[in-house]
Amino acid sequence: MENIDLVIEKIVDWMKEIVKGAKAEGLVFGLSGGIDSAVIAGLAKLAFPENSLGVIMPCYSDPIDEEHGILVARSLDLQFTKVDLSRTFDVLVSSIDEENKNKMAKINLKPRLRMTTLHYFAQNNNYLVAGSTNKSEFTVGYFTKFGDSGVDMLPLASFVKTEIRELARRLNIPDIIIEKLPTAGLYSNQNDEEDLGFSYDILDEYIKTGKGPKEIIEKIERMYKNSEHKRTYPPIFEL
């Protein structure tokens, strides 16, 4: 990425403008232990050194994710808190009197509970919620509707995964976070590239150049089309 320091400066200024325009005072975001949330944390700390809050929200999560979230917070000298949503998830699932016919319907309760939690902290502190979805995920709909997309701003949605790694290095995110296998952390042994069926490198190359293996391009374009409803505001009926 060319002029990475200038890019970071522009993102930070943009984040400040969005917050100021909403007459808010800072930012809140999830700390998942992954690279995307770590980059958001680094940018938020630059934009609002005293008014940035990271929230670690385990929900039957791999303990290493919490360890990495804390590592990011401490490396950035960032204020953070923890809300364990495991019991909340159990109560909600047990309250739903319907057979679970789609595994993802149950699993996606986790990111939706996390977003509800972030909006509590946002409203309670007059903050906005910053989301960590990147352009690679955004393009193919690899995010939960009204979960990780239910945010007030998406600072990373113009940057593919390979560019996120560059930003992370420049923001001094710990190497262990940058190099770890990308995962949404929704269930045991889950990882992004297995879910997608192709690597981020292939996806990023297609997004930037339109090139790639024919069968993968067809799959990406199909995923883009099928997930369009996740990237747009709900349709409004008009007479």
pLDDT tens column, 17-43: 999 999 999 999 999 999 999 999 999
Residue 204: predicted pLDDT: 97
pLDDT at 130: 98
Domain ranges of the chain: 4-231
Q: How far apart are CA 159 and CA 25, in angstroms?
A: 26
Mean pLDDT within 112-140: 98
pLDDT tens column, 142-155? 999 999 999 999 99
* Distance from C-alpha of 179 to C-alpha of 162, rounded to nearest angstrom: 11
Residue recorded with tokens 């808010």? 24
**Distance of alpha carbon 132 from alpha carbon 145, whole angstroms:** 14
Q: Per the confidence metrics, is the pTM higher than 0.75?
A: yes
What is the architecture of the domain spanning 4-231? Answer: 3-Layer(aba) Sandwich (3.40)
Nearest one of 78, 75, 154, 143 to 104, comparing CA atoms: 143
Sequence-ordered list of residues with C-beta below 8 angstroms from that of 92, at least 6 positions apart, any chain? 109, 113
54-70 per-position pLDDT tens digit: 999 999 999 999 999 99
| Average pLDDT, integer, range 180-194 | 79
Q: What's the confidence (pLDDT) of residue 191?
A: 85
> Cα(144)–Cα(200) distance, rounded to whole angstroms?
18
At 192 the pLDDT is: 84
Q: What is the pLDDT of residue 182?
A: 82
State both tokens at 152: 């007030």
Residue 1 clears pLDDT 90, i.e. is over it: no
36 and 132 Cβ atoms separated by less than 8 Å: yes
Locus of tokens 């290095």: 169
